[in-house]
Structure 1
Amino acid sequence: MTSVRNVPSASIFKCAALCGLLLLAASAARSEPRVYIDRVAPLAYSVNGVQQGLLHDLMSEMARRAQYTGAITPMPLLRQRFLISSHDDAIGTIWRMADNEDKYRWWCKLFEFSFVMVAAPGSSADISSIEAAKDLRVGVILGSPAEDMARRSGFRNIQTANNAAANLGKLELGRIDIWIAAPLVLKATEAELGRSLATLRIGKPVGKIGLYLASSHNFDARQGEKWKAAFGSMQKDGSYAQIMKKYGVPLDETEHHAAKR
């Protein structure tokens, strides 16, 4: 058996150096945050196994500028909110609502969406005002800002679904009277189903809500500032506007609000 004293010192040095590099790599991997985003079209979705979407593109460019090499993981809304609030090494996108205001550290606003009431073309549902629609059967995505808005607005018969297509199906079958959704979600649902939804009746807006980059309160502040700076640089050089334009999002209100904290 070869004794340690017979092993050349150069080999021992190389082995030690390799171990050191492996430890550094493992440490660097652990120091990178876990990144989660909303898994809902048109924000983040998969086509033939390829991830894409407004939020996917925004976060991918932010990650590049923040020198982040890990994965950007799309998640269902409720699961994503839980992971970001309960893991101090996680950061991601959260809709800022009344019930979660104190649960997160809010780094920067990415954009703001309006949500509207939608009714079937042949229905008699009154969508002229929130007050007129409060007793109607309302469809929303579970855990979404639309659900939060519906509850805060006083709708009395709220029914949840897992995705936009399910809400559209319920609307067309008469199982709900109205659907609360963002106009961009309507466009994405059109694209997903491959048919026009132009005959749907669009009612009054229910409200606006912002999507933020957020983390737990104990998240590494240096990492948070790095991601925030990456987003700021995107606003300055026009890449933010370019991505928003690609997905048909007007920048008048969105850009103004995103420039704020």
Structure 2
Amino acid sequence: MAGVLRTLLLLAAACCGQAWAQAPAPELRLLAAELPPYTYQVPSASVSEQPGPGRGVLHALVLELARRVGHSGRIEYLPWFRAQEIARQGPRVGIVALTRSPEREPHYRWMVELLTDDLVLVGSPGVDVGALDRVKDRPVGVLEFSGAEALVRSLGFSQVSPQREEWMNAKRMKDRRIDAWVAPRAMVVHAVREVRGNLDVLQFGQVIRPSRLYLATSPDFPEDEAARWQAAWAAMQADGTAARIMRQQMQAEVNPVEDQKRRIREEPFN
């Protein structure tokens, strides 16, 4: 009898182990932040305690990409520094609109390159932006925890002014509180329009480097699963879907946000 019981217990354990082994892995957790025109919410968290749905060219691209691999398409919006921190640690975390740069290279799996923009140096009227060293000792705006911030700090800039969202840099530029700004071109244009700034008076200077924007993941994300996302992206490029989404999204109208509507009005950084 004891032998029969032992056999039954072993069979039960084996069945449970097989069921556990066959349990599907949880889907990739997708994170994003307020990085218009790439990823953003309308209204954003700076305007409403209940932010609206996600938008943006990379948000739309990743939604279609997720659909093709059988993912729910759920994208969580978090502060940018927190999204990066979680994506580095994992497990099974993806992050949208992350610029590939030397200091970030070892911390992520660079799964799909979605878009390339120009990282540019922009100056206030009359400011010489012919080269980065011309503004090395002037107040320079950057997005906090961005590749742009890492770059200017590595070059020894003495008056770096990081802000949590790019509209804050646009506002500081409009108010002449910074002399220069380092950011991807599309983000500069969107942010200036968002604060009703004047693009015509800004000095667009040196293109510093390409800003290669990725859907990246935590290092633990399996290679075979990453290959499915990469194959789906290749199909989106081949059938014209990626190009169509980019055209539609990059032509989207920018709705200005008045200062009095902001829940966050004062920049908490230098």
Is the pair's TM-score, using the shorter chain for normalization, greater than 0.5? yes
| 1:99 alignment partner, one of 99, 103, 110 | 103
Partners of 1:173 and 1:151 in 2: how far apart? Answer: 24
Q: Tell me which residue corresponds to 1:135.
A: 137
| 1:84 alignment partner, one of 83, 87, 92 | 87
Q: Tell me which residue corresponds to 2:174.
A: 172
1:149–1:207 contact (8 Å) kept in structure 2: no
1:127–1:204 contact (8 Å) kept in structure 2: yes
Measure how far apart 1:65 and its partner are: 0.5
Q: Tell me which residue corresponds to 2:64.
A: 61
Structure 2 residue identity aligned to 1:60: L
1:37–1:55 contact (8 Å) kept in structure 2: no
Partners of 1:75 and 1:235 in 2: how far apart? Answer: 29
Structure 2 residue identity aligned to 1:179: W
Residues 102-111 or 189-198, more deviating = 189-198
Structure 2 residue identity aligned to 1:129: A
SS of 2:219's partner is coil
SS of 2:77's partner is strand
Q: Tell me which residue corresponds to 1:162.
A: 164
Measure how far apart 1:198 and its partner are: 2.2
Partners of 1:126 and 1:31 in 2: how far apart? Answer: 51
1:37–1:72 contact (8 Å) kept in structure 2: yes
* Per-residue deviation, residues 194-225 of structure 1 (Å, max 9, x unmatched): 55422212122222221222222221333212
More helix by share: 1
Measure how far apart 1:61 and its partner are: 0.5
Q: Tell me which residue corresponds to 1:15.
A: none
1:117–1:179 contact (8 Å) kept in structure 2: yes
1:117–1:202 contact (8 Å) kept in structure 2: yes
Q: Map 1:213-224 to 2 at 5 A.
A: 213-224=215-226
Measure how far apart 1:114 and its partner are: 0.9
Partners of 1:147 and 1:31 in 2: how far apart? Answer: 34
* Unmatched segments (≥5 aa) in structure 1: 1-22, 250-261
Q: In structure 2, do the counterparts of structure 1 residues 130 and 194 end up closer, same or farther at CA, with 3 Å as the change threshold?
A: closer
2:170–2:197 contact (8 Å) kept in structure 1: no
Partners of 2:236 and 2:182 in 1: how far apart? Answer: 31
* Unmatched segments (≥5 aa) in structure 2: 1-18, 44-51, 252-270
Q: Tell me which residue corresponds to 2:119.
A: 115
2:63–2:73 contact (8 Å) kept in structure 1: no
Structure 2 residue identity aligned to 1:47: V
Q: In structure 2, do the counterparts of structure 1 residues 153 and 205 end up closer, same or farther at CA, with 3 Å as the change threshold?
A: farther
Q: Tell me which residue corresponds to 1:228.
A: 230
Partners of 1:154 and 1:242 in 2: how far apart? Answer: 41
Q: In structure 2, do the counterparts of structure 1 residues 172 and 188 end up closer, same or farther at CA, with 3 Å as the change threshold?
A: closer
Partners of 2:196 and 2:172 in 1: how far apart? Answer: 18
The reply to whether residue 40 of structure 1 matches residue 35 of structure 2 is: yes
Partners of 1:35 and 1:99 in 2: how far apart? Answer: 22
Give the TM-score normalised by structure 1.
0.77
Partners of 1:212 and 1:32 in 2: how far apart? Answer: 19
Q: Tell me which residue corresponds to 2:207.
A: 205
User: Which contiguous aligned blocks of 4+ residues in structure 1 show a shift greater than 6 angstroms?
Assistant: none
1:33–1:91 contact (8 Å) kept in structure 2: yes
Give the TM-score normalised by structure 2.
0.74
Across the aligned residues of Structure 1 and Structure 2, the Cα RMSD in angstroms comes to: 2.3
SS of 1:198's partner is helix
